[in-house]
Amino acid sequence: MRKPVQKVILTIVVAIPLLILAMPVVLALLAISDVPVATGGAVAGAQDAQRANDVLDRYWISASSGKPLTELKVSEQEAASLLAFAARGIKSARVGVTMTDRGLDVRLSIALPANPIGRYANFSFTLPSSVRGIMLERVRVGNTELPTELLSFFIRHGFDLVFGSDESDKITSAIQSIRFADQTMTVAYRPMPGITDRLMARINQS
């Protein structure tokens, strides 16, 4: 009985790293399509940069107010500009957003070099109203819906890369609620001065 058990354990030990390594490739293949989910002009034009800076200025002012809980309001157009600004490093990317009273639908399409598989890599998700901080719904890679926990993992990992190890939980816990009304998103959060300073420093470096 010992040898079969050893074989099973060895198979699992070998398979798990291979699955982890293969995951980005699988996700990339799932994302590819001939039709984009987001269309539009340049990723981040001058108006997008101005709107993004206006939002960041309001965030800086509210985060520095000394209040234990404060709010930041963002319009649909400003949300589109913020996301376009964030994706500006990918020249072929296009971002689309739709804001309703239910939440913010985000779409991202990246034009690919000529290939026999497809012309675009498509990604989308919904940021819904929530009284429990950041939550995500309908996370899709191409036409495939993924567990929201998977994207949450990547978001936390991204926060840790930008702000330092183990900072993602502090950032996500700082956001108390997100609500939508009249094409405006209102984020209630607890200011975190140290994180705010690092965020502004990162933006100024980019």
Give 23-37 pLDDT, tens digit per residue.
Answer: 555 556 667 888 889
Q: Per mean pLDDT, which range of 70-79, 138-147, 154-163 is the poorest?
A: 154-163
CA angle 101, 104, 106 (to 5 degrees): 155
Residue 56 has pLDDT above 80, yes or no: yes
- CB-based contact 95:108 (threshold 8 Å): yes
Burial class (CB in 10 A: 0-12, 13-18, 19+), 179: middle
> What six digits make up the tokens of 104?
């913010």
> What six digits make up the tokens of 121?
């890599």
Residue 169 has pLDDT above 60, yes or no: yes
What pLDDT does residue 166 have?
61
Q: For 76-96, give the secondary structure using H, E and C.
A: HHHHHHHHHHHCCCCCCEEEE
What pLDDT does residue 11 have?
43
- CB-based contact 157:168 (threshold 8 Å): yes
**Nearest CA among 85, 64, 90 for reference residue 74:** 85
Rg (CA), the chain: 20
Q: Per mean pLDDT, which range of 15-29, 31-45, 112-126, 137-151 is the poorest?
A: 15-29
Q: Give the model's confidence band at 78: pLDDT under 50 very low, under 70 low, under 90 confident, else very high.
A: very high
DSSP state of 112: P
89-131: pLDDT as tens digits: 778 888 889 999 999 999 999 888 888 888 888 989 899 999 8
Phi, psi at 140, each rounded to 5°: -125, 140
Whole-prediction pTM: 0.74
Label residues 151-178 b or e (16+ Cβ within 10 Å = b): bbeeebeebeeebeeebbeebeebbbbb
Residue 185 has pLDDT above 80, yes or no: yes
